[in-house]
Each structure stands twice: as structure tokens, then as C-alpha cells.
Structure 1
């Protein structure tokens, strides 16, 4: 459990270290100024999102130090270098090429239909084009044509 008073003291240490006031700190990490004020006054507890934003913007802040005072601030050079190496290894692992499997069907957004379904759909569309429209269900409010280039046209009959 995070002790709020101690967390606020550590947050104030960060503010002093970077020579920031509460408003500029809130702007820098992308939170509302009021949430920063409520946190510093002890009214609110820090959210996970708040802590992660601090760690993202200020890499010298150690997660365990800000949460429970263990570790050091700013991180010593060795810790910073090790965390950068770990992050690089994780990025390299996550960006490793995915082997191509010939049996696997492409999972592209636009390749959801196979050729058989496409031909059936085209046949149905051409049949419905040639037949008289059955308007017993109600009047047509509008017709929208979507083009491959991302544009569209709306017709109100």
C-alpha cells in the first residue's frame, strides 16, 4: 500500500529536482492541474495512470522509489543503463519478424471474404439492380456511395 504522505513528499522532491511548480509539472506529464493540486493536498490518491505518466516523462524516476521509497532518485547511472538495455531487448523481441505461414489466411481487414462469397455478392447485387425496387417497407431516406479513395456522396431522393 502506498503511503500518500510519503508519496507527496517524494513528488515534491521531483518538483524541486526539475525546478518545476505543480502547474508546469501537471502540464508536462499531461494531467489536469486540479488533479495535481488534489494530490499534493492529500485529498486524492495517485492513480496508476498518473504514476506511469511520471515515469514516461521523467526516466530518472524509479518506480519503486516513487511508490514506496525503495531505490534512489535520480536513478544511478548503472540502473539507467540497465533499464535502457532491458527496454532495447524488449523492443527487439517485440519487433522480431513474424514467420510467414503459407497455410495461414491473411488477416487483413479487407480480405474477410473469399472469392466464392464475392461472386455470390456480385450476382445478388446485379440481380437486385435489374429488379424493381420494393418500396413497401418505407421510403428511402438517403443513398450513400462510398468510393475506394475514402470519399463518399450522399443522395437524398
Structure 2
């Protein structure tokens, strides 16, 4: 059953955390199931089947039959997007539903130009702060202190 749960998550682009959150299952429970530490409890199976009513019960429990119930269109599942599976770009109709504020052309970004000056900072001018001591701590709980000698 562990591999079938993994297959559901893969088909819907769900990470273990998102899968657990979606079904309101403790994330650690899903992690333990996927790592083989625990078998899925009746509560976990029930939450999967009630949260994803299109999953075939026989397939989830016994591994027989198809993953999805007969007549279910796999493309109708709302899949989570991630960086690697972004899906097709928005259509022109979807782009036109954007609310456009009056007087602002959203297709033409405003140009905010900021002039950046390169400045050379003279280290001699900034004499406010001087190093008083340097302490180095070692992982064996010892330390060394260095005090700089005054420059003449």
C-alpha cells in the first residue's frame, strides 16, 4: 500500500507534507508510512478515500483494478504546481481577467531609474572604531584571545 500512496502523491504532484496537510493527517505519520516504518492505519486509509473520493478503494487496499474509479477523468484532478511541473502558460482569456487600475498600462511597466554612484571609501577616514580584541573559540571548549598591537 505504501507504493500506491506514493503513486497517488506522484500523480497529483504532492509532496508528503502537502499530501498530509490536504488530508489532515499528521506529517510524521505519512513520513513513517513512506519510509516503511509503519503500515497505514485504518484512519489514514479512510482519510485518503474520503478526501480523494475518485480513488478506487480496491486498488488502494488490495492493489487490484485501476487507480481511479471507472468514469473518472484523471485530467480533472486539481494538481499542485511546483517548480518542475508548471503546466501550460495562461491563455489570452485568462490574462484578460486581470483587474487593470485606471490610468496604468499593465503591459508597459513604469520605469523607475535610480542613479547609483560608485564611491571610494577611504579607510583612514573611518577611525571611529578599532579592534580591541579577537577571541577564537574551539570545539574542545578552549579559546584564544588576540589583542592587536598599536600601530606606530
- Which range, TM-score by smaller chain? 0.3 to 0.5
Q: Which has the higher contact order (CA 8 A, sep 6+)?
A: 2
